[in-house]
Structure 1
Amino acid sequence: MEYTDYDTRLAAYGVITDGDRVLLAKLRFPEAGTWTLPGGGVEFDETVEQAVVREVREETGYESEVGALLGVRHHVVPAERRIHANGRPMKAVQVVFRATVVGGALRDEIDGSTDESRWLPIAELPHHRHGLLVPVALAWAGALTR
């Protein structure tokens, strides 16, 4: 398949830890109730680093600083599973950075793609529904080896 035959969605995420806790946001859609890293789609006029800062602020209330690139993950979403159906498959590209909180206060997002943000103990993740990106990114950050 040629690159012109599918859509690509570029998204950026931040891994923010505090001791043995990780900052996560609970999706309102597309997979309601699933915990994920703060992050999301990169706007046309911003860098992936700027997207992380914006998304962390929108979803958690925190101001953040972007650190090292941890990794890039991708997966294919078949046309029939897309939220915005257009008959084309989509390649989702997820760029993950280490990030740190530099200000702000924890709060939930209003009228966005998430409806709750929380610090969760990393050891408790098996007891919470979360996306595959969470353990992958935590492993990249070395946060699962504690």
Structure 2
Amino acid sequence: MTVSGYITNEKEETLLVKTFWRADTWELPGGGVESGETLDLALCREIFEETGITVKLLGVTGVYSNGSTVSIVFHGKSTGGVLRTSEETQDVRFVKLDSSNVHQYIKRGKFIPRVLDAMKGHSIPFEAFKVRPYKLLERLEGTAIHDES
């Protein structure tokens, strides 16, 4: 299970990362979900580790499957932090991304639909529960996302 985030700032720029192992493309920040971790907390952790940015997540924009790997893409807003690289990222930045220039940044075919879906769609609700006893930990209501296509 992996998570990634279509994260925008106050200028409506999109947060992108370039990793060392996929240096040919920019991509949405994210990564693997650790055992016992909820999807939303995993994504907030991954984004902060990779970029130095803190985020507020709003909802889910898509669910994708690559063989046995399931990837959930969230929409969110940056809330603070300072852009920086990490052990995983060789470059991080906010980019004025839209459907006319997405291919200049996102070079891998499997990532392009995820970004385009997040740009033009709506996010749907997400809930995270603790079990035994059951307790709602987080509910993201989902929200309309500005159409940039």
TM (normalized to structure 1)? Answer: 0.72
CA-CA distance at 1:131 after TM superposition: 3.1
1:32 alignment partner in structure 2: 23
Tell me if the contact between 1:16 and 1:99 (Cα under 8 Å) persists in the aligned partners. yes
Question: Counting helix residues as a fraction of each chain, which structure ranks higher?
Answer: 1
2:16 aligns to what SS in structure 1? strand
TM (normalized to structure 2)? Answer: 0.71
1:57 aligns to what SS in structure 2? helix
Aligned pair partner of 1:138 in 105, 115, 121: 115
Aligned length: 120
Identity of aligned residues (%): 31
Q: Does residue 53 of the first structure (1) align with residue 53 of the second (2)?
A: no
For residues 27-67 of structure 1, the C-alpha deviation after alignment (integer angstroms, 9 at most, x for no partner) is 211x2232110101001121110111001101110011111
Amino acid at match of 1:45: G
CA-CA distance at 1:134 after TM superposition: 4.0
Q: What are the ranges of 5 or more consecutive residues in structure 1 without an aligned counterpart?
A: 1-9, 77-90
Where do 4+ consecutive residues of structure 1 move more than 4 Å? none
- CA gap of 1:118–1:128, structure 2 versus 1, over 3 A, is same
Higher relative contact order (CA 8 A, sep 6+): 1
What is the CA–CA distance in structure 2 between the aligned matches of 1:145 and 1:64, rounded to whole Å?
21
**For residues 62-141 of structure 1, what are the structure 2 equivalents within 5 Å?**
62-76=53-67, 91-109=68-86, 111-112=87-88, 114-123=89-98, 124-141=101-118
